[in-house]
Structure 1
Amino acid sequence: MSTFYEFFAGGGMARSGLGPDWECLFANDLDPKKASSYSLNWGDEHLKVGDVSELKTNDLPGTPDLAWASFPCQDLSLAGNGAGLKGERSGTFWPFWKLMTSLSEEGRAPHLIALENVCGALSSHGGKDFATICSALARGGYRVGALVINASHFVPQSRPRLFIIAAKKSAISVPDSLLCSEPELVWHSPALVEAYNKLPKTTKKSWVWWDIPTATERTAVFADLVEDKPHGVKWHTVTETKRLLELMTAVNLDKVKAAKKTGRRMVGTIYRRTRTDSKTGEKMQRAEIRFDDIAGCLRTPSGGSSRQTIMLVEGNRVRSRLLSPREAARLMGLPDTYKLPENYNQAYHLAGDGVAVPVVRYLANHLLEPLLLANRNQEKKAAA
């Protein structure tokens, strides 16, 4: 069984994705509400609630195969304040990394490190933040590579995320089967290639292009995940639905009309946006809808516009409401057995701030576990 630490753990979605063949040695999150959900689903035996900067290496037991860190994205997001790794939230990478270097000094460095964040991390400060992270890993004795994976390969949600995977040179001998000689478009986006090109030469010497299989085509559509009798939300009144339609431009209204003509149950997702009117130049609120069988990217509910509204079209019948907490959890790949907070905002925040479970499982199955298996086979040969 492989072992791991889970930093910035949230509700334990990385743990859910790694699965039962992985043993959690330690988990940490600052938010007591998220930690409450973590302990509700996973227990609190290995959970320590508090600021990562206050952790010491004696809080961390053993030598883990993997340290997973989905560190806060707000300062690296394109919609954020541009503070980058110097920001209060995304800057928490540094106390995490200090722990990793301290473990290395004690001879307990994780064999693998996985960092997850928004794709804006690639361009933050002109690519300097990404280069800083990769350079730190390289100086720490790791081979470094990255992939951009959209959760839409596995669940009906558009959620592209950056995954930086690092393997300790002294512990992991990387098989050629897990490497490609040049970037592949499926997992190595143009933005990632551009960010790589800006890396210092010394860091590029430790860079690898990870090679994982192309995912099989997803069969589930968003409508499959929608609850007929939602818990935690109510259907809008006729007047409220009418108001949403009035906020749509002609282009978006045409989408609703086309959905009516399909003759099947259609579910669209709506975000409210502030747009500038092309005729008057005035800013006004607009409702923008998509009917492409996938939901827009879940976000944390910091404001009303962050909550996804769904519109259910069945022939000429049109209904609308907020996305339910269970639907949000399903979009993240969490099973229905996962216990959610009763409070709507807490449940939505938990999902919107997490990592998609099936993406973690895919990475574990096709990269993390093969890397560790190759290492164990090499150790067995050396001991024979």
Structure 2
Amino acid sequence: MTPTYYEFFAGGGMVRAGLGAGWRCLLANDFDARKCASYRANWGGETLVERDVRDLQASQLPGLADLVWASFPCQDLSLAGVGAGLAGARSGAFWPFCGLIASLRMEGRHPPLLALENVCGALTSHGGRDFAAICAALAEQGYRFGALVVDAALFAPQSRPRLFIVAARADLPLAPALLGDAPAPLFGTPALDAAFAALPESLRSQWLWWKLPAPPARNATLADLIEEAPTGVDWHEPAKTRALLEMMSPVNRAKVEAAMATGRRMVGALYRRTRYGAGGEKLQRAEARFDDIAGCLRTPAGGSSRQIVLLIEQGRLRSRLISARETARLMGLPEDYALPPRYADAYHLTGDGVVVGVVRHLAAHLFEPALAAMRARRAA
């Protein structure tokens, strides 16, 4: 039987790409018109509902989904945000989403599995109270739950740690192979340990330590994804590249010099960030990395949040903005994935998404085995 799902805050459908053809989408929902246009361009629009989650009713959700995925907005939970947390206008969209799950439960249609994705700041927001509130909301709707921190760098050459909360309906039989007694290797952090320890006993008793295996070693590096002549972006003039070097601290300048000293072709990544000097003054710094992975793609609020590619070849350093297609590759999207024609829209789409390989790994090793056990029990 083909498993089914709803995808909330769907963006361009990266969860759909990760779940793959072996799953059937019953409903995809987003309120952003440009993201919805990308979703239609890649997946068609027959299951897409372009509407704010606050305006949806359970009666508009068809059938019974095996999985409900929600990558709810992260801005108010992010360390780069203003700290509004789940009370914020954006991350607070979690509450109407949770209301839909409650309505489905009233109708006997709440899904066996829930998956929530957000930034790791959700663990520490408001001293851990927001994380506890999420767990309490899941428990109230009859779910047991656990969390994993998965860095996309295990699957694609991008540093992108994200929090994944996976909840199973309390009546769902779970094979012992899916569960452990502690965080799975590679998928736990001190912040996750602290967030769990801070939960009240009533919520810790509902906790599941998901047992997720390590993926195969990643083969691709950042250099494998970079184009010599990308579409939509140009290599900087030498003066602009020199200006970036001048914005670097001695530590970051040394990274560039070390990469040039190898005598090999080297590809790195750079972000411009606001830092504080010794006197408390704000300084704009250029921070580079040459460790074969890109920095985390972020939704661009301005030019400083757009990642820059650094290329060292034959003793020469060049720089440019990362291209839209390169960002799609960093998210694990296929080459035929249709991106928005405007650069800013494409960067927004990919920077807000979920890495495809992470979704596939969760599906293969958690969702699909859990649903198979459920069906086997019903058939017995």
> Taking structure 2 as the reference length, what is the TM-score of the superposition?
0.98
What is residue 266 of structure 2 aligned with on the other side?
Answer: 266
Report the Cα distance in structure 2 between the residues aligned to 1:369 and 1:264, rounded to whole angstroms: 44
1:351 and 2:356 are equivalent in the alignment: no
Give the total of aligned pairs: 379
What is residue 286 of structure 1 aligned with on the other side?
Answer: 285
Contact 1:261 1:315 in 2 (8 A): no
* Aligned CA distance change for structure 1 residues 136 and 283 (closer, same or farther; 3 Å): closer
Residue pairs, 1:205-244, within 5 angstroms = 205-244=205-244
Report the Cα distance in structure 2 between the residues aligned to 1:203 and 1:249, rounded to whole angstroms: 45
Cα deviation 1:244-264 (Å, max 9, x = unaligned): 112222222221121112232
Report the Cα distance in structure 2 between the residues aligned to 1:59 and 1:178, rounded to whole angstroms: 33
Contact 1:11 1:37 in 2 (8 A): yes
Cα deviation 1:21-72 (Å, max 9, x = unaligned): 0000001001000000001100000101111010011210000000000000
Residue pairs, 1:157-196, within 5 angstroms = 157-170=158-171, 172-196=172-196
Counterpart amino acid of 1:94?
Answer: W
Give the percent of matched residue pairs that are identical in Structure 1 and Structure 2: 59
* Aligned CA distance change for structure 1 residues 81 and 275 (closer, same or farther; 3 Å): closer
Structure 1: stretches of 5+ with no match in the other structure: none
What is residue 308 of structure 1 aligned with on the other side?
Answer: 307
What is residue 91 of structure 2 aligned with on the other side?
Answer: 90
What is residue 58 of structure 2 aligned with on the other side?
Answer: 57
What is residue 323 of structure 1 aligned with on the other side?
Answer: 322
Counterpart amino acid of 2:356?
Answer: V
What is residue 99 of structure 1 aligned with on the other side?
Answer: 100
Counterpart amino acid of 1:304?
Answer: G
Cα deviation 1:181-237 (Å, max 9, x = unaligned): 222342121111110111121111211100011122212110100012101111111
How far off is 1:282 after superposition?
A: 4.1
Report the Cα distance in structure 1 between the residues aligned to 2:133 and 2:251, rounded to whole angstroms: 43
Contact 2:185 2:214 in 1 (8 A): no
What is residue 294 of structure 2 aligned with on the other side?
Answer: 295
* Aligned CA distance change for structure 1 residues 58 and 282 (closer, same or farther; 3 Å): closer
Please, what is the CA RMSD of the aligned residues? 1.1
Report the Cα distance in structure 2 between the residues aligned to 1:26 and 1:281, rounded to whole angstroms: 50
Counterpart amino acid of 1:303?
Answer: G
How far off is 1:304 after superposition?
A: 1.2
Contact 2:184 2:210 in 1 (8 A): no
SS in 2 for 1:25: strand
Cα deviation 1:337-372 (Å, max 9, x = unaligned): 100001000000000001111000000001010000
Cα deviation 1:127-162 (Å, max 9, x = unaligned): 111111111111211111110000000101000000
How far off is 1:294 after superposition?
A: 0.5
Contact 1:57 1:102 in 2 (8 A): yes
Counterpart amino acid of 2:312?
Answer: V
SS in 1 for 2:93: helix
What is residue 145 of structure 1 aligned with on the other side?
Answer: 146
Structure 2: stretches of 5+ with no match in the other structure: none
Contact 2:8 2:30 in 1 (8 A): yes
Report the Cα distance in structure 1 between the residues aligned to 2:19 and 2:3, rounded to whole angstroms: 10
